[in-house]
């Protein structure tokens, strides 16, 4: 990097702040990915709970195809109260 770049002086003078900003932005991205994965896991748990409630409460006379369709429907629903 040429010495004539004006930003070079600023970066050197504010090195600790610049480093902190870079680390904060990196950690923010990592944290957002962590939240997304936690949300996915929570959704999977809720779907499994909903499916378990359905399977315990439904009549066993449904065909396999009907059970699968119902399970998919329940897995996409929000919490059953």
Counting as low any pLDDT under 50, the low residues of the chain are 79-81
Q: Report in angstroms the alpha-carbon separations of 17 from 7, 30, 58, 62.
A: 14, 20, 60, 64
Given this model, what pLDDT does residue 80 score? Answer: 47
Q: What pLDDT, on the 0 to 100 scale, is given for residue 37?
A: 93
pLDDT at residue number 5: 78
Which of 48, 55, 56 lies closest to 75 in space, CA to CA?
48
């Amino acid at each position: 990097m040429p010495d004539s770049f004006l930003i070079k002086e600023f970066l050197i003078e504010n090195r600790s702040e610049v480093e902190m900003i870079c680390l904060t932005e990196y950690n923010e991205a990592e944290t957002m990915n962590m939240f997304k994965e936690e949300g996915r896991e929570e959704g999977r748990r809720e779907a499994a709970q909903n499916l378990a409630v359905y399977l315990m409460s439904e009549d066993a006379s449904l065909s396999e195809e009907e059970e699968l369709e119902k399970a998919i429907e329940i897995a996409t629903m929000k919490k059953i109260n």
